[in-house]
Amino acid sequence: MKARFLLAGDTALVVEFGDRVDRGVSDSVLDLSARVRATAIQGVVETVPTYRSLMVHYDPLAIDSATLIAEIQNLLGARGSERLPARLWRIPACYAASHAPDLEEVAQRTGLSMDEVATLHAKTCFHVYMVGFVPGFPYMGDLPEALVLPRRTDPRLKVPAGSIAIAMGQTAIYPVESPGGWHLIGATPIRLFDPGSTPPALLGPGDQVRFDPVSVAEFEGIAAAVERGAYRVVCETTAV
């Protein structure tokens, strides 16, 4: 896939791969991010994957933009067809009405029952395209076509941490309480962002996520275990 190079000030370079949310574009972004990190190019500070581009932060005293572009072009030219391993997270999710304030409305607007919405969401394996908006907020796709809705016309000022939401073709989990305009169809008791952990965000670009439905009682039990530090989210290694 052809890449376009854009300067972002004098300490960052953007490598663009497309103009849409697409798994092929995302794979190219994530592949290059991994290659840049593995190559340890002198002067590179950090890589930040997005839907369609990779931002490479660098120290201009250690490497200039022209040299960095040449280094990255060499990596692009050497790209193979190997499949990279990915982390598959199993996230407990409660779709009960008490934890899903918009589930009934989503069901009405999609022509599905509340159970059908929850089942369709839970059986989908989601791809983490990027993390942003607030620390640890994962933008995940791709939502089944039957669940695709625009954002809410009346965004909330406060969305509780752990809320599972959908909007357009994506799903997300709010890691901290924040404003939000997505439809809340469930909640998870786990923590997606912990400043005391390394790394602080549980999910990262390229990860895969499946939601495992739990009852209200199970939700409360897991929440208590999380508070005690006695719960670990199930994570497997899989091919993408």
Q: What is the pLDDT of residues 8-20, one digit of tens each?
A: 999 999 999 988 8
Residue 102 clears pLDDT 70, i.e. is over it: yes
pLDDT tens track for 206-228: 999 999 999 999 999 999 999 99
Backbone angles phi, psi at 224, to 5 degrees: -65, -40
- Per-residue pLDDT tens digits for 32-70: 999 999 999 999 999 999 999 999 999 999 999 999 999
Task: Calculate what percentage of the chain has a pLDDT beyond 90.
Answer: 89
CA-closest candidate to residue 60, choices 48, 39, 41, 44:
44
Say yes or no to pLDDT of 83 above 60: no
> Domains in the chain, please, with CATH?
4-77 (3.30.1360.40), 85-239 (2.40.100.10)
